[in-house]
Structure 1
């Protein structure tokens, strides 16, 4: 499971695009919960998948990896509209007790589990309308998300405020992720 951490320096000048919900006040200082990041929305047709739904789908799928002593260290997503029909691509960096990537069968099950965790509009577009193709998981080699951070910092991002993007659409970032890919699996079944 991915854990969210706020900068150790607190939230002074906090401006990184997160949406927070104020849950109360302690004296005059607001107390809040993290809701989601701004502008993290996957969409191909009439489907809309936000970060919380993507996170829930990832958590459901990552349970299947526990059998092989593997966990998701970091992830991001991309909407591939270059293929017809378009489909979601989820990039995973994994922590593996052994050096073997989980089997294709396990990763295919992860793809299906993620799809079954999506909302009813996604399922309608995927199954009935066929306007969305099978979800794809691309496993990238260890250190890829560190390289992604280095790229962002070289482009002016603050190292103290950097967080891995949950949705990418920049060609150089997608190219970086694809160049570090070690396996790719698609959902072979349609979600129920």
Structure 2
């Protein structure tokens, strides 16, 4: 008798939404027999890119099976593909590595060799990334129900980007996603209701971005159900920022005015709709946490 997986046994809960059930079923379908799924995906990739310069080089004659691919197409490193990547970077739009147009380059962190690597990607890849991100919360909600009831105080940031000589953007994968319409114009999803407005997340000045996101999180503290960042280091950086800037944050909250350190016009305009009145109770709470023995009045002058 077949034994249901943990996800399958939990999916039948009456509290699980139809959307979550659909996401969980998709995970089951993709992981029940990963070998056949991977072979199918490989076949689709080979079929779609059979006319590329790279695959033609190995004379696979349109074959889409795994055996032919493994026997004729070698395992390569980034350095092996660097000449082709450089041609694309310089503006060559012919089907070199992909039959679909390359729309941007994703960059590595550069921590391994000191130089960021360029990874060509197509528009369709954003759909796959969005699908991947949408699978996280349905799984979490199985074990910690009710995560869709409040807002998430997530510290999200974009990083610097550049353009290649051929005019294509080159940026980290998360920056690519946050700046895309998939994120900026995302449909309502209770799992992705953030305290941080898009204007703060998309600000390239990390100090202004952090300040605005922290301020919003404090102002919406009663609605915050989840707290986090993409990387653990980001959450630690946020806590350190709060320790170093609590006086200024308390002053803004106490007076209902935004610090002059925020000069990005898009953030200022958005924050004017959030920081609309003084919240003396919250300001005093922050001050009490840091100054339990007195001197509270000196903080908000």
More strand by share: 1
TM-score normalised to structure 1 length: 0.29
TM-score normalised to structure 2 length: 0.21
Tell which has more relative contact order, 1 or 2 (C-alpha 8 A, sep 6+): 1
- Structure having the higher Rg: 2
More helix by share: 2
